[in-house]
């Protein structure tokens, strides 16, 4: 082996331009791969940023999509989105962020008053504002206490202890603690969506408005799949009933843009594949250049009793030795571009393909019989 290395070094001294070319090609391949990796990483980062910043709004409608307010679907759909139906295998809450849900009901007492149940003030209506009493704020609406904010016109109904009794159809009267004054609508009472208004049993009612945003856009496909197990895509052909809710996911732009970005990333990956094949081609080419006009030399080696495998090894050594400085330079460039070393593996893969090409060339040159090699005209 030592002898082979010595021979290779001696031979390389006569082929310095080619040796430099090999080192250059190897370092270029290494840096090319890392540069491509940098491009891919930057694009992936931008795609992630876009995914994180885009808010995909989802709107619950009735089954036909004809109503976005006064949707009239049962409250069970809101419970699904709130994560209150895990026992039935519904885990939609994992996809939901900023849920805004409300329901309206006309009360029997105070007469003509409207009760709005909402989990946030914004969910109750655009025009509504609340002036909360001391110690209370809008977080109360997200809770499940029996509290409410009432319009000024209903203040007459408030008892001395600061409560108001409401009478609903079918259900027993219930007393709510008044926590603020509601402005923007007369004869209106606003209470938390989750406030239990019936003792000892769960209550189903019809929703007025319901909307949310997707918690994680990267799970859009899974989310859509899961959502449409429980909801339907709004269409006029659907039968409109409180038991069927439509869900409109406003993802058209995001979906198309993301598909195009993914296509772009795939294209960059394709260039990586192409680079591998071109590396092999370069390997063949450099291999041939270094062993040009040396077929007789190889024939003599064979005639002197050297095995074909050793001749092959000698030829390969001549290519490997100049590859070492190229490799060192390449690794340095690679690490300079990507300090985390994420492109090193790709660089070595590239080198492997290059050497594969060289090996193929060397095998082709040294494979033929010595007598034929001797007869070969250079």
Partner 1 sequence: MNAFIVWFRRKLPINLLLILLLSIGVAACVIGVQTYLASGKQVEAIDQIYTTVVIPHDTRFPGHMPIASTEKGLEYYDLNTLSMEAPVSVRSCQSVLLQGFIPGSSCLTSEDFTTIWRSYDRTGDLPYQACVIAARCEKRQDRSEERINSLFSPDGTLIESSTERELFYDYDLTFLEALSLRAPGENYYPANKLLFSTNLCKDDGTPLLEEGKTYLMWGTCEYLCSFFYDEETRSVWNPICETEEINQDGTIYSVAISPTPIAVEYQGDLHSFLETDTGRIWKEELIPSAERNQQSVKVIATDCTEGLAPFCTRQSNITEGRTFSSDEAKAGKRVCLVSAAWAEKNKVALGDTLTISFFAPRVEFFQPIRWENGSFIGEENDQAQIWMQPSVSSDATGQTDEYEIIGIYTCPPYEGGSLSIAPDTVILPKASVENAMSYFTNEYSRYPLLNSWLIPNGSQETLKSWFEANTLSGLFQFYDYGYSIASDAVTNMENNGIRILAVGTGIYVLVLLAFSSLLSLLLSRSFRVMRLLGQTSNAAHRSYSAALPLWVIPGVILGTLLAWGIFDYVSARLLSQTTVFAWLPAVICMIVLLIAAYITLWGMGRVVSRKRLLEVQK
Q: Interface residues with partner 1 (CB under 8 A)? A: 32, 35, 39, 42-43, 46-47, 49-50, 53-54, 57, 59, 61, 64-70, 106, 112, 233-237, 240, 246, 248, 250, 252-254, 256-257, 260-261, 263-264, 266-271, 273-274, 277-278, 281-282, 284-285, 288-289, 292
Q: Residues 61, 67: contact at Cβ < 8 Å? A: yes
Question: Minimal distance in Å, beta carbon 377 to partner 1?
Answer: 8
Question: Minimal distance in Å, beta carbon 35 to partner 1?
Answer: 8
The residue (of 139 and 281) whose beta carbon lies closer to partner 1 is: 281
Question: Minimal distance in Å, beta carbon 131 to partner 1?
Answer: 24
The residue (of 120 and 257) whose beta carbon lies closer to partner 1 is: 257
Task: Strands of 6-120 (E only): list them.
Answer: 57-62, 96-106, 114-118
Q: Tokens 């009267």 label which residue?
A: 173
DSSP string, 21-41: HHHHHHHHHHHHHHHHHHHHH
Question: Minimal distance in Å, beta carbon 237 to partner 1?
Answer: 7
The residue (of 229 and 273) whose beta carbon lies closer to partner 1 is: 273
Backbone angles phi, psi at 78, to 5 degrees: -65, -40
Question: Minimal distance in Å, beta carbon 261 to partner 1?
Answer: 6
The residue (of 115 and 284) whose beta carbon lies closer to partner 1 is: 284
Structure letter (DSSP) for residue 65: S
End-to-end CA distance of the chain: 28
CA–CA separation, 335 vs 78, rounded Å?
52
CA–CA separation, 132 vs 151, rounded Å?
12
CA–CA separation, 270 vs 257, rounded Å?
20
Question: Minimal distance in Å, beta carbon 215 to partner 1?
Answer: 17
The residue (of 47 and 158) whose beta carbon lies closer to partner 1 is: 47
**213 burial level (CB within 10 Å; 0-12, 13-18, 19+):** middle
The residue (of 178 and 249) whose beta carbon lies closer to partner 1 is: 249
Question: Minimal distance in Å, beta carbon 231 to partner 1?
Answer: 13
Question: Minimal distance in Å, beta carbon 357 to partner 1?
Answer: 10
The residue (of 152 and 260) whose beta carbon lies closer to partner 1 is: 260
Backbone angles phi, psi at 337, to 5 degrees: -75, -40
CA–CA separation, 207 vs 198, rounded Å?
17
CA–CA separation, 339 vs 295, rounded Å?
44
The residue (of 266 and 309) whose beta carbon lies closer to partner 1 is: 266
- For the chain, counts of helices (H) and of strands (E): 11, 10
């Amino acid at each position: 082996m030592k002898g082979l290395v010595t021979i290779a070094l001696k031979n390389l001294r006569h082929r310095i331009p080619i040796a430099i070319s090999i080192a250059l090609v190897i370092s270029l391949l290494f840096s090319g791969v890392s540069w491509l990796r940098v491009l891919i990483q930057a694009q992936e980062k931008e795609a992630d940023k876009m995914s994180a910043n885009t808010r995909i709004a989802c709107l619950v409608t009735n089954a036909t999509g004809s109503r976005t307010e006064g949707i009239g679907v049962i409250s069970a759909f809101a419970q699904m989105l709130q994560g209150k139906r895990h026992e039935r295998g519904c885990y939609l809450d994992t996809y939901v962020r900023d849920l805004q849900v409300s329901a309206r009901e006309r009360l029997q007492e105070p007469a003509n008053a409207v009760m709005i149940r909402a989990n946030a003030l914004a969910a109750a209506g655009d025009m509504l504002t609340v002036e909360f009493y001391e110690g209370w704020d809008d977080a109360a609406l997200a809770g499940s206490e029996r509290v409410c904010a009432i319009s000024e016109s209903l203040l007459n109904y408030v008892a001395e202890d600061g409560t108001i009794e409401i009478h609903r159809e079918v259900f027993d009267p219930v007393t709510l603690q008044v926590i603020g004054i509601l402005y923007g609508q007369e004869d209106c009472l606003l209470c938390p969506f989750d406030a239990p208004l019936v003792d000892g049993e769960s209550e189903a009612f019809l929703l007025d408005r319901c909307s949310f945003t997707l918690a994680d856009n990267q799970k859009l496909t899974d989310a859509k799949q899961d959502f449409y197990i429980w909801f339907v895509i709004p269409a006029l052909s659907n039968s409109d009933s409180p038991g069927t809710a439509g869900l409109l996911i406003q993802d058209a732009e995001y979906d198309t843009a993301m598909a195009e970005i993914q296509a772009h990333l795939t294209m960059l990956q394709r260039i990586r594949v192409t680079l591998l094949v071109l590396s092999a081609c370069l390997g063949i080419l450099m291999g041939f250049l270094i062993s040009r006009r040396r077929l007789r030399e190889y024939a003599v080696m064979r005639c002197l009793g050297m095995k074909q495998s050793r001749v092959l090894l000698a030829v390969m050594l001549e290519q490997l030795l100049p590859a070492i400085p190229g490799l060192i330079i390449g690794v340095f460039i690679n690490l300079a571009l990507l300090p985390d070393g994420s492109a090193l593996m790709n660089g070595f893969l590239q080198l492997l393909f290059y050497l594969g090409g060289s090996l193929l060339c060397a095998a082709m040159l040294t494979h033929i019989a010595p007598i034929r090699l001797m007869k070969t005209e250079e």
